[in-house]
């Protein structure tokens, strides 16, 4: 939850107290909150989605969506008792409310005559780390984890399923390939180069091979690959074509507010239902601004969005439209899991300069490393300050400055940009998209 109000206070650093009045703010930091102050004279405001309360009964909202599917017959009318069903769910790095989405879906399958033994729940890892038993159980709930087969996607056990028109080899997890009926679940939010999460992303990159993921993600520097964009976005178009070729038979997605509460569910055809959910989100989360700021303080929105630097970086992308060229981007993410996926984390052991990482990407795309190159690209045009719980030894490897508190980062930012520098605050960076 975000609190902001002017108070009379003595700031921790006198340079933040130029007129004796500061704005006190509190943003999510992991599973906790972090308080900080911004001088009133510099504070332009807080950018966040329009407020919408979570529905009173999330499972009933999912049931409503299942009973009124978009572009598709009802789930119970599509599936049969003979089907071998796979349900795709998100891993621990995503805020998808799988334990709320699954019960109504499994109820529909039961009413269609599908036995528990014919249902497999697959956690889509992409190239993320494997999860602990406790994490998997927490994602789907004790009952489901105990009564259904729940397995993780294996990026090394994928089978060829053709090629997309953009030249992407389609290699899908064997368990999904062998299923006769595939259901995608997830949540819809902005994605910095796929336009939006959710929909077909449950399949690609969720349960595809490393080669498929890398080939699709190569297009992330294309001008059309940006948050909030679907039509003309080569990444989104490619992954949706892959989903059509492999066959996602039904989809159930949730739209969440910044408090991670369900505000809407959509179900039905994997493309048509996703479009309605994305449109609903966009009307709430796209924020129009007239002026950019010298400094933007952005946080992903707490756990799991700031679970590591790899995930935290996404908030940086959404903050850029609100930041003047050459500005300072103060990114606040706890990073309890450290840097993130192996190829990304290893980049920082090499001591390469930002320009070297950007040039490297032009010559060769390597999954994981591409995010380090993207962060380097941001840093070359602006300056990144990171507030995190990363270890001191890890911070020393980074090519941008690290801090333990927002106020220390902001103090140095004012030293660099001047005492009149303007500041936007984005407490839910992954859920907010500024538009000038």
pLDDT at 195: 95
CATH superfamily, region 3-47+289-435: LarA, C-terminal domain (3.90.226.30)
pLDDT at 221: 83
Count of beta carbons in the 10 Å neighbourhood of residue 135: 14
DSSP conformation class of 180: S
Residue 71 near residue 33, CB atoms below 8 Å: no
Cα(287)–Cα(297) distance, integer angstroms: 16
Q: Which two tokens stand for residue 337?
A: 């899991």
Cα(65)–Cα(350) distance, integer angstroms: 49
The torsion defined by the Cα of 195, 52, 260 and 207, in degrees rounded to 10, comes to: -30
pLDDT at 258: 86
pLDDT digits (tens, 9 = 90+) for 314-333: 999 999 999 999 999 999 99
Q: Which two tokens stand for residue 130?
A: 């494997």
In sequence order, the 6+-apart residues with CB closer than 8 A to the CB of 114 are 79, 80, 81, 83, 85
State which residues of the chain have pLDDT below 70.
Answer: 1-20
Cα(382)–Cα(377) distance, integer angstroms: 9
pLDDT at 15: 38
Residue 9 near residue 36, CB atoms below 8 Å: no
CATH 3.40.50.11440 fits 58-284, yes or no: yes
Cis status, amide bond into 377, omega within 30 of 0 = no
Q: Which of 120, 91, 119, 162 is nearest to 337 (CA)?
A: 91
For residue 364, CA distances in Å to 7, 193, 353, 360 come to: 52, 18, 17, 6
pLDDT digits (tens, 9 = 90+) for 175-204: 999 999 999 999 999 999 999 999 999 999
The separation between CA 228 and the C-alpha centre of its own chain, rounded to angstroms, equals: 13
pLDDT at 367: 79
pLDDT at 14: 35
DSSP conformation class of 218: G
Residue 170 near residue 133, CB atoms below 8 Å: no
For residue 88, CA distances in Å to 35, 150, 173, 391 come to: 37, 10, 11, 34
In sequence order, the 6+-apart residues with CB closer than 8 A to the CB of 134 are none
Residue whose token pair is 């996404």: 314
Residue-range domain boundaries for the chain: 3-47+289-435, 58-284
Cα(161)–Cα(180) distance, integer angstroms: 14
pLDDT at 436: 86
Cα(60)–Cα(241) distance, integer angstroms: 31
Cα(178)–Cα(411) distance, integer angstroms: 57
Q: Which of 264, 278, 291, 332 is nearest to 33 (CA)?
A: 332
In sequence order, the 6+-apart residues with CB closer than 8 A to the CB of 120 are 84, 85, 86, 87, 148, 149, 150, 151, 175, 179
Strand residues in 133-249 grouped as ranges (E): 149-152, 158-163, 169-173, 181-188, 190-191, 195-196
DSSP conformation class of 222: S
DSSP string of 29-48, one letter each residue: ETTEEEEEEEETTTEEEE--
pLDDT at 2: 37
Furthest-apart CA pair in the chain: how many Å?
72
pTM recorded for the entire structure: 0.84
């Amino acid at each position: 939850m975000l609190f902001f109000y002017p108070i009379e206070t003595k700031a921790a650093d006198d340079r933040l107290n130029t007129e004796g009045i500061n704005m006190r703010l509190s943003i999510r930091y992991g599973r906790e909150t972090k308080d900080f102050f911004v001088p009133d004279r510099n504070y332009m405001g807080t950018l966040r989605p329009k407020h919408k309360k979570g529905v009173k009964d999330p499972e009933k909202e999912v049931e409503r969506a299942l009973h009124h599917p978009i572009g598709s017959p009802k789930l119970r009318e599509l599936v049969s008792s003979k089907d071998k069903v796979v349900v795709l769910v998100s891993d621990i790095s995503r805020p998808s409310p799988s334990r709320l989405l699954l019960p109504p879906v499994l109820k529909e399958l039961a009413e269609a005559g599908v036995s528990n033994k014919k249902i497999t729940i697959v956690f889509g890892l992409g190239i993320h780390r494997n999860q602990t038993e406790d994490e998997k159980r927490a994602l789907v709930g004790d009952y489901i984890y105990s009564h259904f087969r729940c397995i993780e996607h294996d990026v090394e056990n994928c089978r060829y399923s053709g090629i997309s028109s953009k030249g992407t080899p389609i290699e899908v997890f064997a368990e999904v390939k062998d299923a006769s009926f595939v259901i995608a679940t997830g949540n819809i939010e902005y994605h910095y180069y796929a336009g939006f999460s959710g929909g077909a992303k449950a399949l690609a990159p969720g349960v595809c091979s490393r080669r498929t993921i890398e080939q699709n993600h190569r297009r992330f520097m294309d001008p059309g690959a940006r948050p909030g964009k679907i039509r003309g976005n080569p990444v989104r178009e490619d992954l949706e074509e892959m989903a059509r070729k492999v066959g996602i038979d039904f989809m159930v997605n949730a739209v969440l507010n910044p408090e991670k509460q369900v505000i809407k569910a959509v179900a039905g055809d994997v493309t048509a239902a996703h479009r309605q959910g994305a449109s609903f989100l966009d009307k709430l989360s796209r924020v129009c601004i007239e002026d950019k700021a010298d400094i933007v303080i952005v946080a992903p929105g707490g756990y799991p969005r700031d679970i590591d630097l790899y995930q935290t970086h996404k908030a940086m992308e959404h903050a850029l439209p609100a930041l003047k060229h050459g500005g300072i981007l103060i990114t606040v993410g706890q990073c309890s899991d450290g840097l993130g996926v192996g190829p990304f984390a290893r980049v920082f052991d090499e001591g390469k300069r930002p320009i070297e990482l950007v040039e490297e990407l032009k010559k060769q795309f390597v999954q994981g490393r591409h995010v380090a190159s993207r962060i380097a690209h941001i840093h070359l045009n602006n300056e990144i300050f990171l507030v995190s719980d990363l270890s001191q030894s890890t911070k020393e490897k980074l090519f941008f400055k690290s801090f333990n508190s927002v106020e220390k980062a902001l103090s140095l930012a004012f030293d660099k940009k001047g005492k009149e520098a303007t500041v936007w605050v984005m407490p839910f960076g992954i859920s907010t998209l500024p538009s000038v």
